Structure 1
């Protein structure tokens, strides 16, 4: 596959667990709680050094999925990708909660060919046809990453909060659009639908460009995969976790890397 250097670097970054990166991938809606007749939100998508500023590369949205409260898919409107960010609009025709997310499931392979290293990235479905069966010193890994956010029109609903049972996912025990400063919120992390035990969770409030410390909140999931956080103040927050195991869907792959990120808005009391 021939790719520009910028896209190649971004592709490699998105295949690593998010905790291993200095750069942070995120989706940021213009607001998360709205009311009215067919309101809209604008969403910025980027991979940046600072939260939530556009100063590295855009987040690619080829695998963007917007799920309406009734489970149907919604098309993004007015999409555009610039040097530092992707931006798109979402019309909220239904009452309830929408999930907006980018899910990438990639297989990465590297091998030696005529004394030179070769690298390949693609989907598990295309691996068998695009990677030589007799590749020398073949190394294969799989990466599943999710970058998500939630927005609600009117009264919150829970239809889109159900997981797929595949990869690393967040189960919101406290509704993601019902978060307030000074109040606790509870979540569960799952891997393939089962509680993810002992995962490290990092939460960072936006505006890191204008403070000397990241002020990270670091937590760990319990035996039930759950964790709780009391929000110190209002603002947009970036929540990240990652894991790895050997439960790949590609027989040649020895390792599966899992990453999850969600942007949450915490409102003042």
Structure 2
């Protein structure tokens, strides 16, 4: 029961976060790689995964690794090595055995149902496939919540490649125009947000550089996607950046469901 309540609260918190401006959010999910641009044969990286108040600081709760998906340069799945979850963060290693670009993502796609049965409030959480039989006959005041999220980062060995960057067509995703491992201070990068495989227009995007704990001004940058889903960012200085966007409402692939879809990326911007 305690596990269920924690999961339900997490889903509700995610939905609320997606509905609010980034500056008002208390907790941020992120993946932080030890390196993003590498050379040599058979390099490794370590990735930290957490949810925190201050960006890239371990002080709240770890991110669970059950939704972890790593895609290699050939489009094939790569298994994480040495996964572990502690009090404030999870960690895992990735062996970059092949040259090219890797996409490292934590993906969630869940459904929650709220309803009354014989006057008693009930709730259920599971997958879309389980939904048809989850709500019993006779239930009233039925409300379905569809929550999708993708938290990711990228790493490249040698020359950047694009096979791992292909979208799945599910939820809110980033379709890079500028390669995510080819970002430099003072330059402008372009990206496209896609919702269920179609350009996501009018979506607010927030970008914050790490090190917020040590600055009076968080230095948040905001922009909005155009009708083609494209947005641009001019990087003011080098560092690790956190990019976030969310869509709440609108049609869901699940009929009758309220949908909240969120996207987060950690991107490294290199010196000029």
Q: Structure 1 length normalisation: TM-score?
A: 0.94
* CA RMSD between the two structures: 1.7
Q: Is residue 89 from structure 1 mapped to residue 93 from structure 2 by the alignment?
A: yes
Q: 1:19 to 1:53 in 2, by over 3 A?
A: farther
What is the match of residue 227 of structure 1? 231
What is the match of residue 12 of structure 2? 12
Conservation of the 8 A alpha-carbon contact between 2:19 and 2:247? no
**1:61 aligns with one of 57, 61, 65:** 65
Q: Say which is worse superposed, 117-126 or 197-206, in terms of deviation.
A: 117-126
The alpha-carbon deviation at position 134 of structure 1 amounts to 2.5
What is the match of residue 146 of structure 2? 142
Conservation of the 8 A alpha-carbon contact between 1:15 and 1:144? no
Matches of 1:16 and 1:154, distance apart in 2: 40
Q: Can you give the 5+ residue segments of structure 1 that lack an aligned partner in the other structure?
A: none
Q: Is residue 265 from structure 1 mapped to residue 268 from structure 2 by the alignment?
A: yes
Q: 1:12 to 1:58 in 2, by over 3 A?
A: farther
* Pairs aligned (count): 268
Q: 1:166 to 1:7 in 2, by over 3 A?
A: closer
5 Å-filtered alignment, 1:63-142, equals 63-142=67-146
Conservation of the 8 A alpha-carbon contact between 1:95 and 1:154? yes
Q: Is residue 174 from structure 1 mapped to residue 181 from structure 2 by the alignment?
A: no
Q: 1:232 aligns to what SS in structure 2?
A: coil
Conservation of the 8 A alpha-carbon contact between 1:17 and 1:258? no
Conservation of the 8 A alpha-carbon contact between 2:49 and 2:91? yes
Q: Is residue 209 from structure 1 mapped to residue 213 from structure 2 by the alignment?
A: yes
Q: 2:133 aligns to what SS in structure 1?
A: helix
Q: Can you give the 5+ residue segments of structure 2 that lack an aligned partner in the other structure?
A: none
The alpha-carbon deviation at position 222 of structure 1 amounts to 1.2
5 Å-filtered alignment, 1:225-264, equals 225-253=229-257, 255-264=258-267
Q: Say which is worse superposed, 121-130 or 156-165, in terms of deviation.
A: 121-130
Matches of 2:57 and 2:76, distance apart in 1: 31
Q: 1:13 aligns to what SS in structure 2?
A: helix
The alpha-carbon deviation at position 132 of structure 1 amounts to 2.1
Q: Which runs of 4+ in 1 moved over 4 A?
A: 4-8
